[in-house]
Amino acid sequence: MKTKLVRKVCALLLIICLLFPLLGQSVQAYGDNIEPVYTIDDTGTYPTASWKPTGQENVINHQGGTVSGCDNNTNWSGDPRDTTNSYLKHGNVDDPDFMIRKFARETATPGTFDVFLNVRGNSVRQEKTVDVVFVVDTSGSMGDSERLDNVKAGINDFIDNVEKAKLGDNIRAGLVSYDDTAIVQENLDTVSNNGTSLKSTVKALEAGGGTFIQDGLYKAKDMFSGSKSDEKMIILLTDGAPTYSYHVESAISEGGEVYGETFDYEKSEGIGSSENFPSSFFWDMTYTVDGFKIDSTWPATLGEARNIKNSTDIVINVLGISIADKYSAKMELLANKGHYSRQSSSKGIKEYLESQADNVISSFDTIKNGSIVIPLGEQYEFASEQVGITSVGENELSRLEAPWAKEYEDHIDIGKINLGKGDEVQFHYQVRLKTGTADFVPNKWYPMSGKQLVVY
């Protein structure tokens, strides 16, 4: 005897812990933790406010909405390319901080269902500001191998990406160039105000002269005077050891390295072609301060960076371009810990600046390094071998590391979700209803997933 089984299913979306990092702290997301409501009765467990894909009666999904209530949309196509319907909107109704949607639809194979999870980000609306000062080496060697050309292209793209992210009013940028001396080329101002002029100024830079890194840092530090921005950063680019520095007036030793502490900014030193001071019977530039021999430009240069790191909230990022191995340790000391990078190719300069732009822009994301755990409903098994990941927002998800997702026997783990304004990612997988188990009951709604945990 044959028995016709009607398999009713529902896609569950229970969000129980919405967290996000704000200035290093974990807090409940914007005070609104939307928890959908479900009905449990003799027909199973199903959303109290629901919708069905057009023409499908054996699957039911939770409606979208806000903390104030559901959207009352009871039917639409269920086409995953539709990015307008059935989202849960967290935060401001007209401009949500983030949006999330999960729904299922029947496939051509009876008892097998497509499941789609969409997550959309935004940019923080608080008055956060970031200051960035580019400190660019324009010494003669920067004209080699298109190094300076790639610096120009990288800064140009940095500005373009900030404007594309609509953060021109939140990010201020400035420019210092240095060779035999440092010059403030563009004062700090919002990218909305100075982006065009900054790109023009960068385009006009020419290579020539020595390498006065300390002067570049000194003048960059002064540009932050009076700044109340939430984050401040220097991006220092150099392709060689310092060949000029200021006269050291006091010094200390730390970790076996000599650092200048105070300087005479009216007196520069160095020969322009080497970091070492001449030391001979005919010409001796070396001297002793507080018992420490000053025989090169390094004590003053490292001391300037140390002063900035110890006495301000400015973060120094350093890119060493084709730096000889013997200088690497000292170059790393110029930067804050973990903020030194090396590139051996000129093209790597542009890539580095693109990554810096990504880091700055992503700091405004409402979803940062997010993760999701999706428990599989007890009456289901996975019918797909892996989770599909598709970018469906205005922006292609090329920034930072793309999200990952992995299926296990009873759940799915998703990680590395970084979403800002215009970013949306869609996860897709398939499940199969287990009709052969002893406890299977036809004509009953079975939830496809348990309580879903979203942390970010």
Q: Are residues 193 and 334 in the same domain?
A: yes
Q: Using CA of residue 152, residue 158, residue 159, residue 160, what is the dihedral sign?
A: positive
Residue 25 has pLDDT above 60, yes or no: no
pLDDT of 276 reads: 98
Q: Are residues 271 and 399 in the same domain?
A: no
Tell me 142's DSSP state: G
CATH of the domain at 198: 3.40.50.410
Q: How confident is the model at residue 454 (pLDDT cuts 50, 70, 90)?
A: confident
The pLDDT mean for the chain works out to 89
Residue 188 has pLDDT above 90, yes or no: yes
pLDDT of 123 reads: 79
Tokens of 102: 């999960």
Query: pTM of the entire structure?
Result: 0.75
Higher pLDDT, 16 or 155: 155
Which of 362, 388, 415 is the last residue in one of the domains?
362
CB atoms within 10 A of CB 394: 11
Residue 3 has pLDDT above 70, yes or no: no
Q: Are residues 263 and 375 in the same domain?
A: no
Q: Are residues 25 and 150 in the same domain?
A: no
Q: Are residues 371 and 292 in the same domain?
A: no
What confidence tens digit (pLDDT) does each residue in 243-293 have?
999 999 999 999 999 999 999 999 999 999 999 999 998 999 999 999 999
1 within some domain: no
Lowest mean pLDDT across 17-21, 52-56, 242-246, 358-362: 17-21
2 within some domain: no
Average the pLDDT over 331-355 and give the result. 96
Residue 2 has pLDDT above 90, yes or no: no
Phi/psi region, residue 78 (left: phi>0; alpha: psi -120 to 50; beta: rest), is: left
What confidence tens digit (pLDDT) does each residue in 149-162 have?
999 999 999 999 99
Higher pLDDT, 357 or 26: 357
H/E segment holding residue 46: strand 44-47
Q: Is 311 exposed, middle or buried (0-12, 13-18, 19+ CB in 10 A)?
A: exposed
pLDDT of 68 reads: 85
CB 227 within 8 A of CB 188: yes
207 within some domain: yes
pLDDT of 398 reads: 61
Q: Are residues 324 and 430 in the same domain?
A: no
Torsion of CA 171, 174, 175, 181, to 10 degrees: -140
pLDDT of 61 reads: 94
Residue from 234, 228, 224, 244 nearest 336 by CA: 234
Q: Are residues 136 and 115 in the same domain?
A: no
pLDDT of 401 reads: 58
H/E segment holding residue 196: helix 191-203
Residue 30 has pLDDT above 60, yes or no: no
Q: Angle at the Cα of 428 (from 424 to 429), degrees rounded to 5?
A: 160
Q: Which parts of 121-170 are beta strand (E)?
A: 130-137
Q: What percentage of the chain exceeds 70 in pLDDT?
A: 91
194 within some domain: yes
pLDDT of 15 reads: 30
Higher pLDDT, 177 or 164: 177
Q: Are residues 187 and 320 in the same domain?
A: yes
H/E segment holding residue 340: strand 340-343
Q: Are residues 295 and 148 in the same domain?
A: yes
Residue 233, domain extent = 130-362
183/402 Cα distance (integer angstroms): 39
